[in-house]
């Protein structure tokens, strides 16, 4: 028997209708968004995805404990064990400039000899260290790029949708033009143009990914705004003379932004992937910076002997795959939740 709630300021006929109990969260984000959140938290696929993401969050937070840096001021520089070209196998002993031993190592292994857990790559960069600190790089770039692209995308998309007509036409053709070049190629060019100007760091690739990454959001938010714009309360606000910017910011965007927000939160996986691709191609971070794409790119010079040095591909590669898969699993569950035909079938 459904619970019957009687609205306090009843409209007269409200008493007869059995109402669902609405919790504070649902009241805050609205029924449609609430349904999506609940369905996501109940699907096994997305639970697996969330667990993977949680694992990486823990690794990123615990990086100084998992792999203590040699120089705490520059933790993203991967420590090197000498300068020899050939990779060293897994569990080989640190010879030179051994970083501080993590506290848990002695407790588990019973020795105070720090080793290359995953081996070293070309030039004796410690793979384990690169992967652990690379997790921080991944979250950092993923979050920055996602927030920035979201901001630009929402701004452009909402202006385009709200004003419509010629403004809309011009902006959307601009978006078409920006989308003409393949994403990775466009980002590659811009990063290559920027690198001599601002030096090798996270910046060129980040700026490039932002510049060519916002168009998807502006298309989605534009569609959602176009439908919200037709609602009566927007008309009412306009009639009583509310300014354009206030209607847009207070009335339209909050009601149209949820799908875009969800998509953006899941785009972090893709952003990290693109960033890694740019580093893999040799654009972006300085050599020896803890970042997964670059760690992988070291393997490019050893392709003929990968049968021996398999660990220089497998560990960083697996890390990247699991990270992206975490976000994709949640995204896959989300696609089902968003699919209107699945509505009323208990979520996923």
Q: Which residues bind other proteins (CB under 8 A)?
A: 45, 173-174, 176-178, 180-182, 184-186, 188-197, 269, 273, 276-277, 280-283, 293, 296, 299-300, 303-307, 310, 313-314, 317, 320-321, 324-325, 328-329, 332
Minimum gap (Å) between residue 344 Cβ and other proteins: 16
CB of 45 to other proteins, least distance (A): 8
Short-list 103, 130, 135, CA closest to 117: 130
CA 324 to chain centre: 9
Nearer to other proteins by Cβ, of 158 and 295: the residue is 295
Q: How far is the CB of 112 from other proteins (least distance, A)?
A: 34
Distance in Å, CB of 283 to other proteins, minimum? 6
Neighbours of 216 (CB within 10 A): 19
Of 109 and 321, CB closest to other proteins = 321
C-beta of residue 275 within 8 angstroms of C-beta of residue 340? no
Residue 234: its H or E element = helix 232-239
Among the listed residues 194, 201, 209, the one whose alpha carbon sits nearest the alpha carbon of residue 153: 209
Instruction: Give min distance, CB of 189 to other proteins, in A.
Output: 5
CA–CA gap between residue 341 and residue 344 (Å, rounded) = 8
β-strands 92-93, 115-116: how paired? antiparallel
Q: For residues 259, 260, 265 and 269, what is the CA-based torsion angle, rounded to 10 degrees?
A: 110
User: Given the complex with other proteins, which of 111 and 305 has the nearer CB atom?
Assistant: 305
Judged by beta carbon, residue 94 or residue 315, the one nearer other proteins is 315
Q: Supply the minimum distance, in Å, between the C-beta of residue 320 and other proteins.
A: 6
* Residues 6+ away with beta carbon under 8 Å from 313: 296, 299, 306
| DSSP state, residue 20 | -
Q: Which is nearer to other proteins, 10 or 340 (CB)?
A: 340
φ and ψ at 63, to 5 degrees?
-50, -45
Nearer residue to other proteins within complex by CB, 174 or 259: 174
């Amino acid at each position: 028997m459904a619970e019957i709630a009687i609205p306090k300021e009843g409209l007269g006929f409200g008493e007869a209708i059995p109402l669902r109990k609405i919790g504070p969260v649902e009241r805050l984000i609205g029924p449609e968004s609430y349904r999506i959140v609940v369905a996501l938290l109940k699907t096994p696929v997305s639970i697996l995805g969330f667990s993977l993401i949680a694992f990486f969050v823990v690794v990123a937070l615990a990086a100084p404990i998992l792999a203590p840096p040699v120089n705490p001021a520059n933790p993203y520089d991967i420590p090197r064990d000498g300068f020899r070209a050939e990779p060293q196998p897994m569990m080989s002993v640190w010879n030179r400039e051994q970083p501080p031993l993590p506290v848990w190592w002695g407790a588990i292994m019973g020795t105070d000899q720090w080793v290359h857990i995953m081996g070293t790559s070309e030039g004796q960069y410690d793979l384990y260290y690169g992967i652990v600190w690379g997790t921080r790089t991944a979250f950092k770039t993923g979050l920055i790029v996602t927030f920035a692209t979201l901001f630009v995308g929402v701004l452009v998309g909402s202006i385009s949708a709200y004003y419509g007509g010629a403004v809309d036409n011009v902006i959307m053709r601009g978006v078409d033009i920006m989308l003409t070049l393949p994403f990775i190629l466009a980002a590659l060019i811009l990063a290559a143009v920027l690198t001599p100007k601002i030096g090798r760091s996270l910046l060129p690739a980040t700026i490039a990914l932002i510049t060519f990454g916002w168009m998807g959001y502006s298309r989605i938010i534009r569609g959602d705004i176009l439908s919200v714009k037709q609602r009566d309360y927007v008309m009412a606000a306009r009639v009583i003379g509310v300014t354009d910017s206030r209607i847009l910011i207070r009335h339209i965007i909050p009601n149209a932004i949820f799908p875009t927000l969800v998509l953006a939160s899941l785009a972090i996986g893709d952003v990290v992937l693109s960033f890694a691709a740019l580093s893999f191609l040799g654009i972006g971070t300085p050599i020896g910076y803890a970042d997964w794409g670059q760690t992988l790119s070291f393997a490019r010079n050893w392709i003929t002997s990968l049968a021996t040095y398999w660990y220089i591909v497998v560990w960083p590669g697996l890390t990247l795959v699991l990270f992206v898969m975490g976000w994709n699993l949640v995204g896959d569950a989300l696609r089902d939740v968003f699919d209107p035909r699945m509505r009323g079938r208990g979520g996923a």
